Amino acid sequence: MSFSDRTVPVQEFPENVRPVLDCELALSRVCGDKDLLLELGILLRAETAKLLAAIRQAAERKDFDALQRAAHSLKGSVATFAAEDAFDSAFKLERLARSEQWVGIDDAISALIAEMERVVAALSELDAECKLGRDDVSMQVQR
Amino acid sequence: MKVLIANDAPVSRHLLEVALKGEGYQIVVAEDGAETLRILEEDGYPRIVILDWMMPQADGVEICRSIRKRAREPYVYLILLTAKGEQTEIIEGLEAGADDYMIKPFDLRELKARVRSGRRIVELEEQLLSARELLRMQATHDSLTGLFNRAAILDMLQTELARAFRERRPLSIIATDLDRFKNVNDTYGHQAGDAVLVEITRRMQGSLRAYDAVGRCGGEEFLIVSPGCAEEDAVELAERLRQNVSIAPVQCARDVIPVTVSLGVATVAGDIVQADEFLRAADEALYKAKRTGRNRVVVGSQVLQ
């Protein structure tokens, strides 16, 4: 099975549960360039650490603008990997920050951090599997 | 062709850079709005920009507005690439001056196709600008010598007269006529006559300062406009022209054609003078040079001072 064919059948996922990453979709968006996708994964892991730190600092300072920017950046980056739950969490935080409402922001930050931890773990797993030359790993990384 | 990728997110930046390098574009990268604007102020700035909306220092929409406001040539084709996907945002981006709008996540094939669309527009504009420049050259320059034509050099004279008055600086003109040019055409033919005109143009241009302008006003008549040049310097310049033109005969095929010029100098010293009156003074001096034996410089500027 080739890299691009690797997809866990839909029925293996419980209903209403989405994969952390949909690498098959992500791969199709980059014209099947596996190496490029892995490079982007490395960049996303580094960027995640910086942006989550920026989000925490912005929340402490109650800086809505910085919070909105960081959440927006993270949203754009995870979108490349079709990480739908992480995307939704970042989008929710971005909207709360834009509306300058503190109610619910702490929960939104916690949810985003949790989602990004899953995304980073999934990217690390994918990277390790590719380095080991395994081609039969799932391209949809389950929660 | 240069493409500027303006994006503060490393993932998007790397993705765009790799994809477009593969298409043969020369990639320039900016990580914030201020750097983007600075790059677009440089000579030879990129003609296609892929612009993120949210960036530090100046956002993509502000940059679109700024680029459209300055309205420089050549045109910059702007593609907004953003995670902002609401209809009101798309409208705002396009109204700000973006030519195209793409929403993240994007498909690389679509992005490449959209950049190619931009490239077509940019290349079409390049062709139009070249054609306009050619027409401008044809409208203002003499096709034989490449000098300014009569209309262009007279326009320049008007401009320089106004500047001389405004800045209270002198301005000189030198009406120049090739001696016995009819004889050259009659004796050696019009082809030889054209060759003589081209050669004396070259000799005159070699005698002028960088800020002097020379135009061909008629068959063998030329006008030199010399800003900031007082009478004494103008006479010296005219004499240098006379000597350099007549320094050697013009060789044309097997013919050796002697050439001389007569020159009439007129100067204003920051006064209000009509261009017609100024030209008449130079022409009168030129005719006097002709009447008194040709191949000489006559000054007529006293009339105007």
Q: What does the mean pLDDT of chain A come to?
A: 82
Q: Residue B11: its chain A contacts at CB < 8 A?
A: 40, 43-44, 47, 76-77, 80
Asked if B105 lies within 8 A of A36 by C-beta distance, the reply is: no
Q: How far is A10 from chain B (nearest CA, A)?
A: 22
Higher pLDDT, B112 or B84: B112
Question: Residue A13: is its pLDDT beyond 90?
Answer: no
User: B11 in contact with A at a CB cutoff of 8 Å?
Assistant: yes
- Kindly report which listed range (A21-30, A61-70, B57-66) carries the lowest average pLDDT score: A21-30
Question: Residue B102: is its pLDDT beyond 70?
Answer: yes
CA distance B266 to A91: 76
Q: How far is B21 from chain A (nearest CA, A)?
A: 13
User: A38 in contact with B at a CB cutoff of 8 Å?
Assistant: no
List, as ranges, residues 92-131 from A with C-beta within 8 Å of B: none
- What is the structure's pLDDT at A14? 52
Handedness of CA B210, B212, B217, B218 (dihedral sign): negative
- CA-nearest residue to A77 within chain B is B11
DSSP A20: S
State the best of B5, B8, B11, B52 to mutate against chain A, taking most chain A CBs within 10 Å.
Answer: B11
Query: Mean pLDDT across the stretch B69-87?
Result: 92
Asked if B105 lies within 8 A of A47 by C-beta distance, the reply is: no
CA distance B192 to B177: 17
Residue B278: exposure state from Cβ atoms within 10 A (0-12, 13-18, ≥19): buried
Whether B73 sits among the annotated catalytic residues: the reply is: no
Q: Residue B9: its chain A contacts at CB < 8 A?
A: 47, 73, 76-77
Which pLDDT band, with edges at 50, 70 and 90, does B75 fall under? Answer: very high
3-state SS assignment for residue A73: helix
Which pLDDT band, with edges at 50, 70 and 90, does A4 fall under? Answer: very low
pLDDT tens digits, A57-111: 999 999 999 999 999 999 989 998 999 999 999 999 999 999 988 889 999 999 9
Q: What does the mean pLDDT of chain B come to?
A: 93
3-state SS assignment for residue B176: strand
CA distance B105 to A26: 9
Asked if B56 lies within 8 A of A69 by C-beta distance, the reply is: yes
pLDDT tens digits, B4-49: 999 988 999 999 999 999 999 999 999 999 999 999 999 999 999 9
- What is the structure's pLDDT at A15? 53
pLDDT tens digits, B180-238: 999 999 999 999 999 999 999 999 999 998 999 999 999 999 999 999 999 999 999 99
Which pLDDT band, with edges at 50, 70 and 90, does A16 fall under? Answer: low
Query: Mean pLDDT across the stretch B248-264?
Result: 93
Which pLDDT band, with edges at 50, 70 and 90, does B153 fall under? Answer: very high
Q: Which residues pair with B50 in a beta bridge?
A: B5, B79
User: A44 in contact with B at a CB cutoff of 8 Å?
Assistant: yes
Question: Residue B115: is its pLDDT beyond 90?
Answer: yes
Asked if B107 lies within 8 A of A44 by C-beta distance, the reply is: no
The pTM is what?
0.72
Question: Residue A9: is its pLDDT beyond 50?
Answer: no
User: B89 in contact with A at a CB cutoff of 8 Å?
Assistant: no
Which pLDDT band, with edges at 50, 70 and 90, does B301 fall under? Answer: low
DSSP B249: P
Q: Residue B103: its chain A contacts at CB < 8 A?
A: none
User: B9 in contact with A at a CB cutoff of 8 Å?
Assistant: yes
Asked if A40 lies within 8 A of B14 by C-beta distance, the reply is: yes
> Strand order in B48-51's β-sheet?
B26-30, B2-6, B48-51, B77-82, B100-103
Query: Mean pLDDT across the stretch B277-302?
Result: 91
Question: Residue B303: is its pLDDT beyond 90?
Answer: no
Question: Residue A128: is its pLDDT beyond 60?
Answer: yes
| Active-site hit among B126, B220, B221, B284 | B220
Q: Residue B52: its chain A contacts at CB < 8 A?
A: 76
User: B83 in contact with A at a CB cutoff of 8 Å?
Assistant: yes
- What is the structure's pLDDT at B80? 96
CB B305 within 8 A of CB B171: no
Question: Residue A139: is its pLDDT beyond 50?
Answer: no
User: A79 in contact with B at a CB cutoff of 8 Å?
Assistant: yes
Which pLDDT band, with edges at 50, 70 and 90, does A118 fall under? Answer: very high
- What is the structure's pLDDT at A133? 57
CA distance A142 to A21: 8
Question: Residue B247: is its pLDDT beyond 90?
Answer: yes
Asked if B11 lies within 8 A of A44 by C-beta distance, the reply is: yes
> Which value does ipTM take for this structure?
0.77
- What is the structure's pLDDT at B236? 95
